[in-house]
Each structure stands twice: as structure tokens, then as C-alpha cells.
Amino acid sequence: MPPWHSCGADHVAVYGTLREGGSNDIRRFQPGIAQVGTTWLQGSLWDMGQWPGLQLDGCGPVLAEVYPLHPALEQQLDQLEDIWPQDLGQYRKRLLTQTVQQGDGLVVTCRMLVYEALPQALARCPRVPAGDWLAWFRAGKPQG
């Protein structure tokens, strides 16, 4: 098995099934984890079936929840996203510095990990005409 390495970020931004209430809710990997707040990533969402892919292409706002990140959680997420122990070529890890709106109304700036879908993984995927994956998915993936 190849060695695993942390990206060094203190937070992770999740935009799809890892969001609260999603099929891979991040609490499944770390029970009791507290959301730091939300942010809007600049990109586009793509429908990869039962989960989304995000391209950080600046096309529009994409809602993401931000959580604290430690190496053990990051390693679990790398496994979920098929980056480690074998990279299946669907996602890459990107580090961003973003403002985060906390629940108390305060805005903080955080350095965060985002799992970005690789172009070849999205080649046959339709674009999601929304910036909130969970709302769109729960609405039955409406078109238009």
C-alpha cells in the first residue's frame, strides 16, 4: 500500500453526499463533528449518478459546508473519494482559502481542502443546473 500524506489543511469543504443529511454524511466518519459554517465555492456541479463532481471553474456559486479536518478524517475521506490507497482518477485534492459564514453570523477565513472532480471523470456527466447538490438531488434531479 502506498504511503498516505495529509494535505495540511485545517478544514474541509463538502458540497455533496458528505453534507449533513447526505448519504455519506461526514458524521458517519467522525461522529459529533461540528460544522464551522458554510461557504460558496466558485464552480460548477456535475451529476455523477448518486454523487456530484465539482469543477472549480468560477462559473457560479456552489454551496459547501465547512468542517474541521484532522489527518485521520482526511485519510478516510481520501478512501471514500478513491484517491488512496489507489487513485482511480476521479478527484484531486485542492487547497483554497475561503470566507466562511458561521452560524452566529460571524465571517471567518479558513484554509480548506476541496475534492475537485477531474475533467476525464466528468466527460459523460450532465451539468447540474443548481448550486446546491442536496436540494437538487432531493427534488428528484429536476432538469432545466
Q: Model's pTM, two decimal places?
A: 0.95
For residue range 57-68, list pLDDT tens digits in order.
Answer: 988 999 999 999
- 3-state secondary structure at position 138: helix
| Residues 8-28 pLDDT 10s | 999 999 999 999 999 999 999
- 105-132 pLDDT, tens digit each: 999 999 999 999 999 999 999 999 999 9
Q: Who's near 62: CB < 8 A, 6+ residues apart?
A: 15, 40, 41, 42, 43, 44, 45, 54, 131, 132, 133
Summarize pLDDT for 77-105 with one digit per residue, the tens. 999 999 999 999 999 999 999 999 998 99
